[in-house]
Structure 1
Amino acid sequence: MRLTRRTVMAAGAGAAGLLAAPAVFGQGRPHVVVIGGGAGGASVARGLALASAGAIEVTLVEANPRYTTCFFSNLYLGGLRPIESLQFSYDGLTAAGVTVIHDLATGIDRGARTVALAGGAVLGYDRLVLAPGIDFVEGAVPGWTLDQADVMPHAYKAGPQTDLLRRMVEAMPEGGLFVMVAPPNPYRCPPAPYERACMIAHLLTQTNPTAKIMILDPKDRYSKQTLFENGWLKHYGGMIEWVNPEFGGADVEVRPETMEVLIEGEAQPVDVCNVIPAQKAGRIAEIAGVTDDSGWAPIRPDSLRSAIDPMVWVLGDAAQAAEMPKSAVAAHSQAGVVVASLLGELTGASVPPPLFVNTCWSALAPGDSIKLGGAYAPGYDRITQTGSFISRPDETEDERRLTYEEAFAWYDTLTAEIFG
């Protein structure tokens, strides 16, 4: 049985189950398969379908029928956004001409140019785009595995984990202790753990003002550090404590069964523990054989083409993008470069010089946000930063409120461009 767009969309998430045996799909047009429906992958799929005007067949493989954005999920934790406002369907991609298959990619044969799906189907491709996001490094935090994520959640893949962490914070006893185990570099969205501390502190000021937050950090410094620490002092007094490696932040073990954290061997009882482990490229990139010893996928800086396989492109959090941070804006920016590269290769369209940008907004409190960003360009062997900006510590309340409002406008604009 040949799986068509009609059968895929009619059956939705169960489409793969229609196949009694594996089938290889063939197309007369060049076929690009995109794996991963987040900011990077969905942007490539929709952008390529629209830009090629039907000249390229585009298939998106994404396990989840609705996408919950990691970006802005901290605002849900702070009580500033409902979770529903962070969730998007893929109807806009279907309307743009993308074949959307809700299934899990489980194998890639780069020699045969095929993708195996959990439901039994096999997709043939002419070019492959990987945007699988992140996975966690096993054993990165002693005592913690994904099996303990229902006790000590990571909430670094938005969705049920985000909701779980919020409910845990709301259920903390009066004067309780929230501990975050921060990740080492590199990881998804460098300022996000510290914005999360702000948002959880904001929620606690409304419900549990004597509670405390402790951040155990293996890093000596972190993104927007001065701005965050000024914000913590201004809005939350002594509620938030940052513990760096000098004071034990890098020597941490967790005991989910007893709800304890060991800091340099000394046990600390906790009420909620948010473990954000070390990260690597999403599993399918490793299965495809396009990652290296770093755990990330090396790419060619001018196109995001894999440095290992010229028929594969990798973007977003999974890519080893050198000086570009791992963020939604960065992934969306990279998607434009990937689309141009694929159009040039498959249709002969002219390819403009690649230019990458990033901006990251972080909420300190309602009406008070900060931002940083930069411009990037391909160098000889890596993407390099060519310019930057960051909020000033002495900005006025009006300036900060404008940045706060700008972040909401950015979110609406970006998600409309990604999901249609």
Structure 2
Amino acid sequence: MKIARRTFLGSAAAASAILAAPMLGAQGRPRVVVVGGGAGGATAARYIAKDSAGAIDVTLVEPTRVYFTCFFSNLFLGGFQELDDLGHTYGTLAADYGVNVVHDWAVGIDRDAKTVSLGSGYALPYDRLILSPGIDFIEGSVPGWSIADQDVMPHAYKGGTQAGLLRAQIDAMPEGGTFVMVAPPNPFRCPPGPYERISMVAHRFTQVNPTAKIIIVDPKESFSKQALFEEGWQNHYPGMITRIGPDFGAETVTVNPETMEIDVDGEVIKADVANIIPAQRAGTICQLAGITDGNWAPVVPASMQSRIDPNIFVLGDASAQGDMPKSGYSANSQAKVAAMIVRGELTGSQVFPARYSNTCWSLIATDDGVKVGAAYEPTEEKIASVSSFISQTGEDAALRKQTYEESLGWYAGITSDMFG
């Protein structure tokens, strides 16, 4: 396969792409810059480049050369996937679709000049900007823990090395030891995610450490698919999992990474492995752009355009849009709407009414998959759910296996949709 000249642009080589951008603009091609190469950003870049047939110059800014999906990382923790299975590269986007792939950090946005500043010191001009940076954490939301402690008490809520670290800690935990998760408050990335993780950690323990104990410290009254998870835990992992909710002090938690202790309203738990998932906000670039309401970036429901700057679109976890959960499926769905709107604005192509959808699958044990999902339409105020579905307790094993196999097909499909 022949790799185009614009294929892989590292930080040091980014200058050539950026210096070329004004020339391209002078030749009449509008410029779109996409920040973030995950389910939202990679999909948007691919669809704009593919469907505009070269009429739009598309640049994707993503610091990592191999992108590890956060979705399905729990299955890696449970031993159902290998970490390499979750890693994806950008060669096809560059070679087959003509996307300029710049491996660098976006560190600032000048909305008046319409430029994106990069860590390497260069600035990318844009006519439209799409931000899909995912999440960052709210510092101090778990007293005693900071991002500097992530190697001792990992969050593993961004794909890649953190998942590998947590898996290694799980496998090295002493026999009969205690795994503690501090779950995040709403809203956060992937509402069923922490509880699928508990399921996968429990599954792993049944293989390597069957007398281990799991404690969830959860500040929320309830959580996504709660009845399904609790039924599954009772069926597959009886006596292993304990959840401490706000009625038992889970809203008042401090941690000590040096001693591996979690203080729950005065009661101290000694952990052998501690998974701390803090409160979350939009990726920092949204804060730097000045388009957030404090933590999240409000968008126009029909287009995913920022309510503060119509030249900027915000996708996925970073957006405040209404009823859609923060998930990879949601980001992918939103990206296709945004790509259509951007093409329409820049080339005059036809624009259709926005429609959105989402499904979140979770694996509880071997061949025991469950799901929840909905279809959505935009209103003036928000993206609103118009229909929904959820797995039911007591389903037979054949249906649960089918649901799990469906999730494997979805993962193959969405990653192909993202990366080509």
Q: TM-score range by the shorter chain?
A: over 0.9
- Report % sequence identity: 54
User: Residue 377 of structure 1: SS of its match in structure 2?
Assistant: strand
TM-score (norm 2): 0.96
Q: Aligned ranges for residues 155-170 of structure 1 at < 5 Å?
A: 155-170=156-171
CA distance in structure 2 between the aligned counterparts of 1:62 and 1:11, rounded to whole angstroms: 10
* Corresponding residue for residue 332 of structure 2: 332
CA distance in structure 2 between the aligned counterparts of 1:418 and 1:26, rounded to whole angstroms: 25
* Corresponding residue for residue 352 of structure 2: 352
Unaligned runs of 5+ in 1: none
* Corresponding residue for residue 366 of structure 2: 366
CA distance in structure 1 between the aligned counterparts of 2:213 and 2:41, rounded to whole angstroms: 38
* Corresponding residue for residue 13 of structure 2: 15
CA distance in structure 2 between the aligned counterparts of 1:71 and 1:356, rounded to whole angstroms: 19
Q: Aligned ranges for residues 31-42 of structure 1 at < 5 Å?
A: 31-42=31-42
CA distance in structure 2 between the aligned counterparts of 1:149 and 1:409, rounded to whole angstroms: 32
Tell me whether 25-34 or 85-94 shows the greater mean CA deviation: 25-34
Report the residue type matching 2:246 in the other structure.
P
1:3-51 Cα shifts (integer Å, max 9, x gaps): xx96653654542377999996752300000000000000000011000
Q: Aligned ranges for residues 21-420 of structure 1 at < 5 Å?
A: 27=25, 28-94=28-94, 95-293=96-294, 295-420=295-420
User: Residue 7 of structure 2: SS of its match in structure 1?
Assistant: helix
CA distance in structure 1 between the aligned counterparts of 2:147 and 2:253, rounded to whole angstroms: 17
User: Residue 9 of structure 1: SS of its match in structure 2?
Assistant: coil
Question: Does the aligned pair in 2 maintain the 1:48–1:339 contact within 8 Å?
Answer: yes
Question: Does the aligned pair in 2 maintain the 1:8–1:101 contact within 8 Å?
Answer: no
User: Residue 204 of structure 2: SS of its match in structure 1?
Assistant: helix
CA distance in structure 1 between the aligned counterparts of 2:365 and 2:357, rounded to whole angstroms: 26
User: Residue 14 of structure 2: SS of its match in structure 1?
Assistant: helix
Question: Does the aligned pair in 2 maintain the 1:24–1:122 contact within 8 Å?
Answer: no
TM-score (norm 1): 0.96
Question: Does the aligned pair in 1 maintain the 2:18–2:124 contact within 8 Å?
Answer: no
CA distance in structure 1 between the aligned counterparts of 2:402 and 2:48, rounded to whole angstroms: 34
Question: Does the aligned pair in 2 maintain the 1:19–1:120 contact within 8 Å?
Answer: no
Question: Does the aligned pair in 1 maintain the 2:218–2:250 contact within 8 Å?
Answer: yes
How many angstroms does 1:160 deviate by?
A: 0.6
1:133-192 Cα shifts (integer Å, max 9, x gaps): 000001000000000000000000011100000000001001000000000000000000
Report the residue type matching 2:142 in the other structure.
V
Q: 1:174 to 1:197 in 2, by over 3 A?
A: same
CA distance in structure 2 between the aligned counterparts of 1:44 and 1:198, rounded to whole angstroms: 33
Question: Does the aligned pair in 2 maintain the 1:333–1:358 contact within 8 Å?
Answer: yes
Question: Does the aligned pair in 1 maintain the 2:137–2:279 contact within 8 Å?
Answer: yes
**RMSD of aligned residue pairs (Cα, Å):** 1.7
Question: Does the aligned pair in 2 maintain the 1:16–1:120 contact within 8 Å?
Answer: no
1:307-366 Cα shifts (integer Å, max 9, x gaps): 000110001000002110000110000011101111111111111110000000000011
Report the residue type matching 2:258 in the other structure.
E
How many angstroms does 1:301 deviate by?
A: 0.5
CA distance in structure 2 between the aligned counterparts of 1:17 and 1:54, rounded to whole angstroms: 21
Aligned residues: 415
Question: Does the aligned pair in 2 maintain the 1:179–1:270 contact within 8 Å?
Answer: yes
